[in-house]
Amino acid sequence: MREYTPGELSRLLGIPLVGPDTARISGAAALTEARGHELAFVGAAKLFGTAQNSSAGCLIALEAYAPAPGQAVLRSAQPRSHFAAALATLYPERAVSPGIHTTAIVAQDAAVDPTAEIGPYVTIGEGTSVGRGASIGAGSVIGANVRVGEAALLHPRVTIYDRVSIGARAIIHSGAVIGADGFGFEMSGGRYRKVPQVGSVEIGDDSEIGANTCVDRAALGVTVIGEGTKLDNGVHIAHNCQIGKHVVIAAQTGLAGGVTIGDYAIIGGQVGMGDKARVEARAIIGSGAGILTSKIVRAGEPVWGTPARPLRQYLRQLATLSRLAARGASRERPSGD
């Protein structure tokens, strides 16, 4: 593992160094656990006291932080962001090893760039293309007529159905299923008849799909995950959803068919959305909220609860319920006579 001095990190990150340039930094740790060869960050003023006693070899700290004697500190207006950049330097991704493993099964008319890496027991269907520098992990199944973009990373055991497009530099984690049929059935003659799902899925450039997340193909048309959007583990995106650019969706959230989410929206964990709900750009939905069918969530104040409503209204209603419960409990107490 390569070591860096605080001065080298200062130059790489473009932020100033205060203090000695003698440490050799080869890793990173939490502020209270970091040792002399490790980097830590100080992202809030309330942590200044803890930072004064830290054993870290180097700190990335807010500009207002006053270093203890002998501390090496990289001053930053955004310590967490610079710490993330430093982590990428200290713990670089494994380099792609070009080539097709001998156990992989690749259709004759598939186009795999010579710089791409195809791992053990991968299968790649007819008409599929794998771009420059892409990596497909062991045991993954890639269907027919799929496009895997340049430098995309598919971890082991990813499943991509037919006619799906994966953007450049997209990351898809293990267990994810992209392009499974949407949940489409029609009652006919007393039983459900499957409605063929003949659309596709487009995963945008620089997006990330978490482990065991499912993105269903459209019934007709395209299910879209926009550029730079991040889906956590265990998220379900149903058929014909249109997710904008740089959206963040936390774990265990489920979207019903035809939901639209605007750019830069933030969706908390365990949120449920009904058919054709619409979330405006930059809207914020709190964890556990329920969005009713065809509901429009406006940008501005965060929404919370089920059915979702503005946070201030939600908190007022909680307070009212608490007062009513307390009043009811007092009436039920014995009088003491």
231: nearest Cα among 183, 267, 273:
267
Q: Which residues pair with 296 in a beta bridge?
A: 278
Buried b (16+ CB within 10 A) or exposed e, 268-289: bbebbbbebbbbbeebbbbebb
Q: Cβ distance 226 to 204 under 8 Å?
A: yes
Element (H, E) at 37: none
The whole-angstrom separation of Cα 53 and Cα 50 is 5
Which residues have C-beta within 8 Å of that of residue 242, sequence separation ≥ 6? 223, 224, 259, 260, 261
Pick the catalytic residue from 82, 173, 236, 239: 239
Counting Cβ atoms within 10 Å, is residue 69 exposed (0-12), middle (13-18) or buried (19+)? exposed
Q: What does the block give as tokens for 210?
A: 């978490």
Pairing of strands 73-76, 17-18: antiparallel
Q: Is 82 in the active site?
A: no
Catalytic positions:
239
